[in-house]
Structures are given as C-alpha cells and as structure tokens.
C-alpha cells in the first residue's frame, strides 16, 4: 500500500474522550485506545464501540488467522451463526431473565416478538446440534466461529479490551463422555498456548486456575501479566501456572501441589478462557445421543473463548514506548515500512523500484511516498510501529543502498537492497 493513498491520518494527541477512562471517572486512560486511534488503526464511535480502519483490520485479521489455524489443527470446523436470538431458547437455561443475566441488549420485531443480541452462543449452538446428532457414531466433534457479540456493560473501559460490541472466537466441543471432554480440553488448552506464543504474548501469559462455577471444579483463564490489567492473579513462575484471586484457597493449593510462599501477586489481563460445560446445556435443550447399548444420554460439552480485539489491545498495552506502538512481526500490519525522503528523480525511481521488488517477493510493505518532512515521516513510522523501516534518501541513493532500522533498535545500517531483503526475511 502507498501511504499517500491511505485515507486515514495519524494524530499528535489522543482525542479528548480517550484522555480519560470511558466511564468518566478519575484514573488512567487506556493506552491501547489512545495509541491505536492516534496511529489510525481504529476509530471510536461511542463508549465501548470502535471501528477497525485499514491498518487496524490488517492486524485484527492476522490475529484472527492465527487463531483459526490453531482451531483447525485440533479439528475445529468453522461455522457462522446469527446474532439475533430467540427468547424461548434462552428461557430453557434460565439465562434470558435480566435478574440472572444483566448484560442483554434486547429488541422487538414489528409484531412485538422479543429478540436479543447474542452475548454468547452456548444455547443456540446446542439447539443447532440437536438437528445433527442422534448416535454415538456422530461424536465427537467441535465447531467454532468468529462472531459479533453484544454486551450491555455498565462501564465500557480499557479501550478495545472491554467493549459493548466485539468479535469473539467461540469454540464448542461435543463428546460422548467426560473422558472425551477431558482429552479435547487438553488439546484446546495446548492450542491456546500456541496462539499466545505466536502473537508475541507467550512469555507473559499464564494458564490460570479459576472457578468452574456450576460446570466443574475448575475452569481456566489465560492471563497476561500487565501493569494496567484489571485482574489479580498469583503466579508460580517455575511451574508456569497461576491462580485467580477468587480461588486462592488452601484446597486449591493442595490440589496443585504448591505452597502459598511460591506465589507472586501480579496484575493481569484475561486474554482467553476455557470451560468444561458438562451436560448443563444438553440437558436443558435436549441434546441427546443413543449409545452402543441403545440408551439415550446427554452430550458432554466444552466451551472455549478468545477475543482477537482483546488480544490486539493487550499487545499494544505491552509493546509500546514513548514514540508509539511496537508490533510483534507476526501480527504487524506490514512487514516493512518503506520511507522515501525527497522527491528528486533518482530518489523516487530508487524507492519505487524497491517498492515493486519487495512486493514481487511476496513481502507486505507500506510505502510512505507522501510529500512530508523527514521528521514527520519518522514520527509517523514510530507511532504506527511496523517492525522494520527501510529509508531511501539522497544519501542512500548516492551509495546505491538503503538504510535499515528495526523498530526496537536505536541504530541503523546501510545495506544493498538485496542485503536488506535478506535481513528482513531472516
């Protein structure tokens, strides 16, 4: 992409409504929202509602594709379900009543039929699967989707990490028995670890024991250590596990074989969660199968959630400096930022030819061909945060080279175009 054709513009300052918390209280505003808006990745529609602009959507899609690849590896089949929800389906699990679930957005058809906008999809996916499962031969399997959820949060805060409208990857597993669920649950947990490794959060993310509620003794959250996090967890750094504050009890410590003095308190951001649902939803909605002996039994289910936007916001919270964002290469909108300084015929030809050659080699490149001063271009480049910068100027063209600088380094070096591409690829 040529930057001159990019309709979005960078901003020197965050908008006034992102200079303070979204709920209007006194406190620290969200770093991820400030930087993503200033760099032209997102736009705020209202509190808790954001648009993804071209640069932001490229990052979002890369995170989404990493998640998709790992869900496919464990056998997940991708679907896409409706956001509109029937009242009757949710009444069967007692989750339609606002006194039980208070974050619904509800609306009505013109004939006064009441509908809701999906907060999650356990109920509708269970109802769907009743049409497709009859025998033990139909099990096991899992399905997942990337789908918009709506939650009427009292306070929308933390930028794109806690919003009222967001896309979630929710995967659901269907098994004959607890043993089958346990096996898949382990595979899903391993897949989540790979996802966080690939997006650059692996070293700071802990599988965290949390309450299983009515479903099971434990569920698991994946928590990323961050000073701006809303959650408090207790970390065993040697075993690479953590305990949520709500279940930090002697019984849990005994189950895990650790002592309290091995734990360190940390603030963290929840970036994913997995639950063993058991038969709660299959019992309520009649999801049954006939086993080998001809007996009808409820299908055993699991639920596995992760939000690409929440991951994106967490990455910005962790990987940024006083100049702007520092994207890990796996999720950066482009692999290289080609910055042209000057508009002489020689400089333009060298930069244009290099741009063409980079693209021919299948490398994603943002080409800053705008008629701006060097200082403005470098400030924008640092703010946008692409991992590698190639600079073409009168000085570099005179030597037949390009200046190469990594976003995380202070120093740069002059290399031939071929050497620069080799360094980028390696």
Residue among 425, 288, 414 nearest 357 (CA): 425
For the entire predicted model, the pTM comes to: 0.94
* The predicted structure's pLDDT at residue 361: 95
- pLDDT exceeds 90 at position 4: yes
CA distances from 390 to 335, 349, 351, 374, 404 (A): 11, 15, 10, 13, 5
The string of pLDDT tens digits covering residues 40-55 is 999 999 999 999 999 9
- 213 or 186: whose pLDDT is higher? 186
Question: Residue 365: beta bridge partners?
Answer: 336
Pairing of strands 365-368, 336-340: parallel
Residue 195: Cβ-neighbour burial (10 angstroms; 0-12, 13-18, 19+): buried
Query: Which pLDDT score is estimated for 215?
Result: 64
Span 64-93, average pLDDT: 98
Which residue has 């001063």 as its token pair? 373
The residue-averaged pLDDT of 57-78 equals 98
pLDDT band at residue 292 under the 50/70/90 scheme: very high
Mean pLDDT, all residues of the chain: 94
DSSP state of 247: G
Q: pLDDT of 94-145, one tens digit each?
A: 999 999 999 999 999 999 999 999 999 999 999 999 999 999 999 999 999 9
Give 29's pLDDT tier (boundaries 50, 70, 90): low
Q: Is the pLDDT of residue 22 over 50?
A: no
Give me the mean pLDDT over the 167-182 stretch: 97
In order of 24, 162, 193, 308, 310, the CA distances from 166 in angstroms are 21, 9, 22, 9, 9
Q: Given a cut of 80, is residue 32 above it in pLDDT? A: yes
State both tokens at 211: 């309450």
- Given 3.40.190.10, 3.40.50.800, 3.20.20.70, 3.90.550.10, which CATH number is that of 336-425? 3.40.50.800
Is residue 425 scored above 90 in pLDDT?
no
Coil, strand or helix at 80: coil
Beta strands in 254-401 (DSSP E): 264-278, 288-290, 296-298, 300-306, 336-340, 365-368, 388-392
pLDDT of residue 37: 97
For residue range 394-407, what is the model confidence (pLDDT) as tens digits? 999 999 999 999 99
- Strand (E) positions, 218-318? 218-225, 231-236, 241-244, 264-278, 288-290, 296-298, 300-306
Answer whether residue 24 shows pLDDT above 50: no
In our burial notation (b when 16+ CB lie closer than 10 A, e otherwise), range 94-133 reads ebbeeeebeebeeeeeeeeeeebbbbbbbbbbbbbbeeeb
Question: Where residue 27 falls among pLDDT bands split at 50, 70, 90?
Answer: very low
- For residues 104 and 113, give the distance between their C-alpha atoms in angstroms, rounded to a whole number: 16
Q: What is the structure's pLDDT at 70?
A: 98
> Can you tell me the distance from the alpha carbon of 63 to that of 141, in angstroms, rounded to the nearest whole number?
24
Helix axes 417-425, 345-360, angle to 10 degrees: 40
Whether the pLDDT of residue 381 is over 50: the answer is: yes
pLDDT at residue 14 greater than cutoff 90: no
Q: Is 281 within 8 Å of 300 (Cβ atoms)?
A: no
Please identify, in words, the CATH class of the domain defined by 78-307.
alpha beta
Contact 6, 12 (CB under 8 A): no
List the domain boundaries for the chain. Answer: 78-307, 336-425
**C-alpha 191: how far from its chain's center?**
14
Rounded distance between C-alpha atoms, residue 213 and residue 176, angstroms: 22
Q: And the tokens for 160?
A: 């794109």
Angstrom distances, CA of residue 426 to CA of 299, 342, 403, 422: 48, 29, 17, 6
End-to-end CA distance of the chain: 23
Is the pLDDT at 213 greater than 90, yes or no?
Answer: no
């Amino acid at each position: 992409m040529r930057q001159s054709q990019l309709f979005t513009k960078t901003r020197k300052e965050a908008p006034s409504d992102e200079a303070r918390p979204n709920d209007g209280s006194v406190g620290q505003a969200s770093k991820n929202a400030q930087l993503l808006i200033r760099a032209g990745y997102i736009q705020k529609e209202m509190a808790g509602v954001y648009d993804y602009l071209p640069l932001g959507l490229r990052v979002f899609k890369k995170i989404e594709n990493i998640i998709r690849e790992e869900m496919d590896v464990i056998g997940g089949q991708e679907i896409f379900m409706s956001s509109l929800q029937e009242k009757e389906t949710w009444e069967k699990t007692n989750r339609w009543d606002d006194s039980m679930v208070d974050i619904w957005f509800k609306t009505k058809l013109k004939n006064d039929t009441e509908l809701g906008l999906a907060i999650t999809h356990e109920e509708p996916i269970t109802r769907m699967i009743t049409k497709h499962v009859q025998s033990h031969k139909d099990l096991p399997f899992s399905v997942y989707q990337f789908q918009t959820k709506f939650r009427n949060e009292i306070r929308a805060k933390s930028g794109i990490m806690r919003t009222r409208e967001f896309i979630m990857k929710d995967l659901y597993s269907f098994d004959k028995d607890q043993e089958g669920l346990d096996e898949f649950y382990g595979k899903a947990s391993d897949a989540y670890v790979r996802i966080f490794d690939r997006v650059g959060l692996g070293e700071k993310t802990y599988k965290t024991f949390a309450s299983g509620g009515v479903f099971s003794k434990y569920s698991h959250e994946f928590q990323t250590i961050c000073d701006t996090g809303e959650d408090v967890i207790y970390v065993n750094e040697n075993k690479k596990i953590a305990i949520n504050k709500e279940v930090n009890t002697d019984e849990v410590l005994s189950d895990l074989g650790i002592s309290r003095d091995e734990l360190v308190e940390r603030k963290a951001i929840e970036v994913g969660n997995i639950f063993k649902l058991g038969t709660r939803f299959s019992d309520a909605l009649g999801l049954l199968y006939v086993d080998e002996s001809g007996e009808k039994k409820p299908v055993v289910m699991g639920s596995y959630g992760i939000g690409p936007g929440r991951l994106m916001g967490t990455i910005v919270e962790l990987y940024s400096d006083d100049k702007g964002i520092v994207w890990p290469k796996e999720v950066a909108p482009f692999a290289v930022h080609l910055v042209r300084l000057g508009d002489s015929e020689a400089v333009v030809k060298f930069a244009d030819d290099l741009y063409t050659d980079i693209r021919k080699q299948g490398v994603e490149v943002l080409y800053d061909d705008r008629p701006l001063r060097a200082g403005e271009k470098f400030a924008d480049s640092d703010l946008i945060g692409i991992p590698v910068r190639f600079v073409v100027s009168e000085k570099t063209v005179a030597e037949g080279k390009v200046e190469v600088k990594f976003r995380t380094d202070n120093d740069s070096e002059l290399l031939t175009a071929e050497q620069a591409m080799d360094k980028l690829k390696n």
